[in-house]
């Protein structure tokens, strides 16, 4: 008799028990009189030992990496002093092959493979120790975000991602043919989310957003998971507080959910200190001028930033890395921001907007207060050169019971890249979609 168990349940508590475990051969080392298998079943890794009659030269052709097996045996606690990867190991007494593998696997990818090859073979790479740990952290992070919102009274909604309007300007749209009419893959669910605040109050959604980004960078995806929030009756400072609470609370939840896994992925993971630095765009311009961060160079002469200049990513990152802490970069001039953003009551040139910048990654959240007045919003459409008629369902919000409100969008993969200390955003995706990749 053997009890079927998962690796996560294998602890010294059930040592001596005969168990039955199914999984994949993460590593296999077959020697003359003993065989070592590192078994992977998705819940963890287990060292398994084959001895005696079970060891046979023919095992070399069968017990190879990624073969699926069913193992029977007894769990034992390795003697103290023996270098064992786990608290328990399995002394195998019987095994069966469920699915064979092939030695050509070693030739498909190895530690020297080119990154394009690695992403062509992403389905294999994902089984690796680090990639699988990242995928699990990604799952836990998704749970942490959801739990944060549910525990704080938000309702989740699921807006459409096939749309006929745009939210963040027309340049980065993927266009498609929707039964003969033009449509787009959504850039952001914000406009739909705004229509939900009279329905459910604080609303959030977790949906895919799409951007036909021409630039190929370490932080731009063509498809990303967008966590968006919209809240009625808040002020700009409340919005910043909520974003700060979200980021720190999710970090804290991840430590609680699986600190060990988190620290194996990123030994430097930390819950950021509150409050975050809050810096207005105007102060940012001053910071750049004072710290020799230049807009450009003309004939060898550095050109300083002036009020009204967009600070490009590279310079923004330099500022962020010099400061070395999360920064709420706030109150951008309206010309450089989306049409729907509310102006600052104290300065009409500026918007109540923010980008949350993280050292090493840059912007992970973008948010703002929204124009709540119908006529002001109509004027904003006019200035943008947009026909508001297709947006009637969005502008009606201001006609029938408007309210001050604001919200934000957090790039889930940007968050993970930052929190897990990854170099490149593609590493936290299942199958990344980027400028030069739509496969596999």
Q: Which residues bind Mg ion (CB under 5 A)?
A: 366
Minimum distance, C-beta of residue 336 to ligand 4AD, in the bound complex (Å): 12
Tokens (6 digits) for 344: 């600052």
Minimum distance, C-beta of residue 74 to ligand 4AD, in the bound complex (Å): 49
Name the residue nearer to ligand 4AD (CB basis): 284 or 366.
366
For residue 397, state whether it binds ligand 4AD (rule: CB under 6 A). Answer: no
> Nearest-CA neighbor of 426 among 266, 223, 264?
223
Minimum distance, C-beta of residue 79 to ligand 4AD, in the bound complex (Å): 50
CA gap 273, 282 in Å, rounded: 24
Name the residue nearer to ligand 4AD (CB basis): 71 or 350.
350
| Residue of minimal Cβ distance to Mg ion | 366
367's contact among Mg ion, ligand 4AD, none, with CB below 5 to 8 A by partner kind, is ligand 4AD
Name the residue nearer to ligand 4AD (CB basis): 40 or 426.
426
Residues 201-220 close enough to bind ligand 4AD by CB under 6 A: 211, 213, 220
For residue 317, state whether it binds ligand 4AD (rule: CB under 6 A). Answer: no
Minimum distance, C-beta of residue 188 to ligand 4AD, in the bound complex (Å): 3
Pick one of 409, 416, 419, 427: the residue that binds ligand 4AD (CB under 6 A). Answer: 409
344: β partners: 347
Name the residue nearer to ligand 4AD (CB basis): 224 or 419.
224
For residue 365, state whether it binds ligand 4AD (rule: CB under 6 A). Answer: yes
Pick one of 73, 159, 367, 432: the residue that binds ligand 4AD (CB under 6 A). Answer: 367
For residue 326, state whether it binds ligand 4AD (rule: CB under 6 A). Answer: no
Minimum distance, C-beta of residue 352 to Mg ion, in the bound complex (Å): 14
Size of the site for ligand 4AD (CB under 6 A): 23
353: β partners: 368
Asked if residues 432 and 425 have their Cβ atoms less than 8 Å apart, the reply is yes
Name the residue nearer to ligand 4AD (CB basis): 86 or 189.
189
Tokens (6 digits) for 130: 């680090």
Minimum distance, C-beta of residue 355 to ligand 4AD, in the bound complex (Å): 6
- The three-state DSSP-derived secondary structure of the chain is CCEECCHHHCCHHHCCCEEEEEEEEEEEEECCCEEEEEEECCCCEEEEEEEHHHCCCCHHHHCCCCCEEEEEEEEECCCCCCCCCCCCEEEEEEEEEEECCCCCHHHHCCCCCCHHHHHHCHHHHCCCHHHHHHHHHHHHHHHHHHHHHHHCCCEECCCCCEECCCCCCCCCCEEEEECCEEEEECCCCHHHHHHHHHHHCCEEEEEEEECCCCCCCCCCCCEEEEEEEEEECCCHHHHHHHHHHHHHHHHHHHHHHHHHHHHHHCCCCCCCCCCCEEEEHHHHHHHHHHCCCCCEEECCEEECCCCCCCCCHHHHHHHHHHHCCCEEEECCEHHHCCCCECEECCEEEEECEEEEEECCCEEEEEEEEECCCHHHHHHHHHHHCCCHHHHHHHHHHHHCCCCCEEEEEEEHHHHHHHHCCCCCHHHHCCCCCECCECCC
> Binding string to ligand 4AD for residues 169 to 198, with x set by CB under 6 A, is what?
-------------------x-x--------
For residue 244, state whether it binds ligand 4AD (rule: CB under 6 A). Answer: no
Segment near ligand 4AD (CB under 6 A), from 122-130, 270-278, 311-319, 360-368?
360-368
Name the residue nearer to ligand 4AD (CB basis): 319 or 410.
410
For residue 167, state whether it binds ligand 4AD (rule: CB under 6 A). Answer: yes
Minimum distance, C-beta of residue 189 to Mg ion, in the bound complex (Å): 15
For residue 398, state whether it binds ligand 4AD (rule: CB under 6 A). Answer: no
Q: Strands 296-298, 301-303: parallel, antiparallel or unpaired by DSSP?
A: antiparallel
Segment near ligand 4AD (CB under 6 A), from 122-130, 231-239, 325-333, 359-367?
359-367
Segment near ligand 4AD (CB under 6 A), from 249-257, 284-292, 323-331, 358-366?
358-366
Name the residue nearer to ligand 4AD (CB basis): 213 or 309.
213
Please report, as ranges, the residues that interact with ligand 4AD according to CB under 6 A.
167-168, 188, 190, 211, 213, 220-221, 224, 226, 228, 363-367, 407-411, 413-414
């Amino acid at each position: 008799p053997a009890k079927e168990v998962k690796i996560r349940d294998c602890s010294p508590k059930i040592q001596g028990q005969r168990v039955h475990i199914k999984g994949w051969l993460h590593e296999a080392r077959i020697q003359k009189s003993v065989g070592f298998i590192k078994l992977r079943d998705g819940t963890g890794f287990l060292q398994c030992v084959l001895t005696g009659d079970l060891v046979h030269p023919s095992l070399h052709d069968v017990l190879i990496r990624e073969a699926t097996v069913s193992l029977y045996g007894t769990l034992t606690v390795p003697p103290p002093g023996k270098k064992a990867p786990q608290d328990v190991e399995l002394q195998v007494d019987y095994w069966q092959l469920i699915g064979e593998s092939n030695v050509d696997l070693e030739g498909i990818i190895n530690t020297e493979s080119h990154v394009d090859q690695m992403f062509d073979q992403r389905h294999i790479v994902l089984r690796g120790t680090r990639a699988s740990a990242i995928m699990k952290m990604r799952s836990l992070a998704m749970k942490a975000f959801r739990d944060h919102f549910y525990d704080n009274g938000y309702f989740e909604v699921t807006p459409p991602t096939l749309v006929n309007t745009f939210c963040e300007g027309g340049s980065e749209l993927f266009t498609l043919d929707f039964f003969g009419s033009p449509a787009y893959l959504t850039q952001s669910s914000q406009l739909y989310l705004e229509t939900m605040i009279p329905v459910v109050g604080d609303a959030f959604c977790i949906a895919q957003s799409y951007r036909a980004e021409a630039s190929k960078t370490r932080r731009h995806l063509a498809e990303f998971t967008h966590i968006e929030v919209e809240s009625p009756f808040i002020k700009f400072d409340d919005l910043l507080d909520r974003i700060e609470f979200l980021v720190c609370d999710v970090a804290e939840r991840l430590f609680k959910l699986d600190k060990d896994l988190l620290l194996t992925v990123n030994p430097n993971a930390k819950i950021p200190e509150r409050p975050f630095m809050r810096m207005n765009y105007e102060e940012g311009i001053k910071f750049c001028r004072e710290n020799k961060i230049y807009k450009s160079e003309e004939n060898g002469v550095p050109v300083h930033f002036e009020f009204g200049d967009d600070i490009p990513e590279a310079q923004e990152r330099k500022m962020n890395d010099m400061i070395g802490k999360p920064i709420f970069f706030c109150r951008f001039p309206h010309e450089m921001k989306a049409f729907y953003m509310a102006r600052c009551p104290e300065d009409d040139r500026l918007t109540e907007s923010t980008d949350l910048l993280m050292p090493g990654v840059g912007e992970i959240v973008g948010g703002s207060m929204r124009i709540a007045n119908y006529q002001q919003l109509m004027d904003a459409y006019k200035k943008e050169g947009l026909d508001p008629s297709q947006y009637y369902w969005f502008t009606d919000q201001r006609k029938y019971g408007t309210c001050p409100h604001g919200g934000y969008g957090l790039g889930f993969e940007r968050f993970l890249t930052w929190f897990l200390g990854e170099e490149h955003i593609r590493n936290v995706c299942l199958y990344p979609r980027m400028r030069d990749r739509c496969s596999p």
